[in-house]
């Protein structure tokens, strides 16, 4: 079955094959009302350990091209979690192993700008050297198939975060689009234990409700929703319930709010205010120490928004996943956050909403850094 990202990938790779390129240079970061960001907030941002808990490259490839490198430099972002499991052919074991190898080669070629971070110490070191730390993430445990030894293999290749399921069921558990809301399989319990032992962070963003709750329950270490929204604010199955958010926080986990506006608001136009509403809700439900930012988008901001929106509309039209959306998608991303310096823009919006500096630093990267340090070391 096609997933939402499959529709998008197919369109973007077709565009790339035809030589179509993204439009326009990067813009200066602006606040909510279009005015320049408060210089004091910019100082806060520059000193903070800032991070985005889910990004990928513009064309979903493992190549750190000049567009992505320029975005990384412009972002001044300390670290980000990169989905390195996206390939043109899918998420088979061979495809993902090859992808990680290509990522390692790309990072080595560009060591003046980026580093692969396998520990919290390497993120801090990158910050001190003015480099960007890349943390490897898989959005699906599918490439493990039934071979538990592959958890260690991917760990040795540099992967530090694995999402147990993507949209649909695999050998570990159920995705959020599955008709049956089952929990972890026996193999899934073994994967959770193996990841705990290796100190890998368990991501539950796309998992079904029961799989999510059981993983939190059985994990000896905190888990994460690296990219999701709040179902209390928009009743789509892609978003997390208050019960899931509380359970995550009670065990020390962190939830990243994604910049997927079709799952943030039913308004015809998305604004940064609706994004901050989701941040507010997690703070109310779970506390200030349990919310962050997981854009679920390219580091540089999607330049082919029309193509991506078309992918969402086609995904909406597939009968088996119609309940994923509360309406036909009208937009894809919050415009103000669809740029490399989105965390700075968000920091400015949070300050306008009344958040104090120390809390802003937690939201724009501090909380996920703390979680990564606690779980991974």
The CA radius of gyration of the chain, in Å to the nearest whole number, is: 19
pLDDT at residue 10 is higher than 70: no
Q: Is residue 359 part of a domain?
A: yes
CB 56 within 8 Å of CB 86 = yes
| Residue 254 belongs to domain with CATH number | 3.20.20.140
Q: φ, ψ for residue 225 (rounded to 5)?
A: -105, 95
CA distance 228 to 168: 16
CA distance 28 to 22: 17
Q: Is residue 29 part of a domain?
A: no
Q: Is residue 47 part of a domain?
A: yes
Residue 184 falls in which region: left (phi positive, over 0), alpha (psi -120 to 50) or beta? beta
pLDDT at residue 212 is higher than 80: yes
CA distance 234 to 222: 26
| Helix residue ranges per DSSP H, the chain | 4-17, 39-47, 66-75, 93-109, 120-129, 149-157, 186-198, 209-218, 242-250, 272-286, 305-317, 342-353, 357-361, 367-376
Q: Is residue 249 part of a domain?
A: yes
Q: Using a cut of 0.75, tell me whether the model's pTM lies above it.
A: yes
Q: Is residue 368 part of a domain?
A: yes
Q: Is residue 237 part of a domain?
A: yes
Burial of 154 (0-12, 13-18, 19+ CB in 10 A): buried
Q: Quick one: DSSP state of residue 370?
A: H
Q: Is residue 158 part of a domain?
A: yes
pLDDT at residue 207 is higher than 80: yes
Cα torsion at 145, 243, 285, 344 (round to 10°)?
20
Among 334, 214, 311, 328, smallest CA distance to 264 is for 334
pLDDT at residue 342 is higher than 70: yes
Range of the domain at 186: 39-376
pLDDT (tens digit per residue) in 62-74: 889 999 999 999 9
Q: Hey, which residues does 203 pair with through a beta bridge?
A: 163, 224
Q: Is residue 16 part of a domain?
A: no
Mean pLDDT of the chain: 91
In angstroms, what CA-CA distances link 142 with 208, 246, 280? 15, 27, 34
pLDDT (tens digit per residue) in 138-177: 999 999 999 999 999 999 999 999 999 999 999 999 999 9
pLDDT at residue 122 is higher than 50: yes
- Number of domains into which the chain is organized: 1
């Amino acid at each position: 079955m096609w997933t939402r990202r499959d529709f998008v990938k197919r369109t973007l790779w077709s565009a790339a094959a035809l030589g179509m390129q993204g439009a326009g240079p990067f813009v200066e970061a602006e606040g909510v009302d279009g005015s320049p960001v408060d210089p004091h907030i910019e100082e806060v941002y520059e000193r903070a350990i800032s991070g985005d808990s889910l990004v990928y490259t513009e064309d979903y490839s493992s190549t750190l091209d000049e567009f992505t490198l320029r975005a990384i430099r412009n972002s001044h972002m300390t670290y980000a979690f990169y989905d390195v499991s996206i390939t043109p052919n899918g998420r088979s074991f061979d495809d993902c192993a090859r992808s990680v190898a290509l990522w390692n080669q790309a990072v080595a070629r560009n060591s003046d700008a980026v580093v692969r971070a396998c520990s919290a110490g390497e993120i801090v070191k990158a910050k001190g050297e003015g480099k960007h730390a890349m943390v490897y993430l898989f959005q699906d445990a599918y490439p493990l198939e039934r071979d538990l030894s592959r958890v260690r293999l991917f760990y040795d290749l540099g992967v530090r975060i694995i999402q147990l399921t993507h949209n649909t069921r695999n050998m570990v558990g159920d995705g959020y689009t599955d008709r049956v809301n089952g929990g972890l399989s026996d193999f899934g319990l073994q994967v959770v234990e193996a990841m705990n032992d290796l100190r890998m962070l368990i991501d539950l963003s796309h998992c079904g409700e029961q799989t999510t709750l059981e993983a939190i329950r059985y994990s000896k270490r905190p888990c994460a929703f690296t990219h999701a929204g709040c179902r209390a604010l928009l009743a789509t199955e892609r978003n997390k319930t208050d019960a899931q958010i509380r359970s995550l926080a009670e065990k020390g986990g962190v939830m990243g709010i994604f910049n997927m506006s079709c799952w943030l608001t039913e308004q015809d136009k998305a604004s940064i205010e609706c994004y901050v509403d989701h941040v507010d809700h997690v703070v109310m439900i779970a506390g200030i120490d349990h919310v962050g930012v997981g854009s679920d988008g390219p580091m540089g901001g999607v330049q082919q928004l029309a193509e991506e929106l078309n992918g969402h509309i086609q995904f909406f039209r597939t009968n088996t996943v119609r309940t994923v959306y509360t309406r036909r998608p009208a937009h894809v991303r919050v415009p103000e956050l669809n740029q490399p310096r989105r965390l700075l823009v968000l920091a400015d919006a949070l300050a306008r909403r009344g958040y104090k500096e120390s809390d802003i630093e937690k939201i724009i990267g501090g909380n996920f850094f703390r979680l990564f340090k606690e779980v991974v070391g």
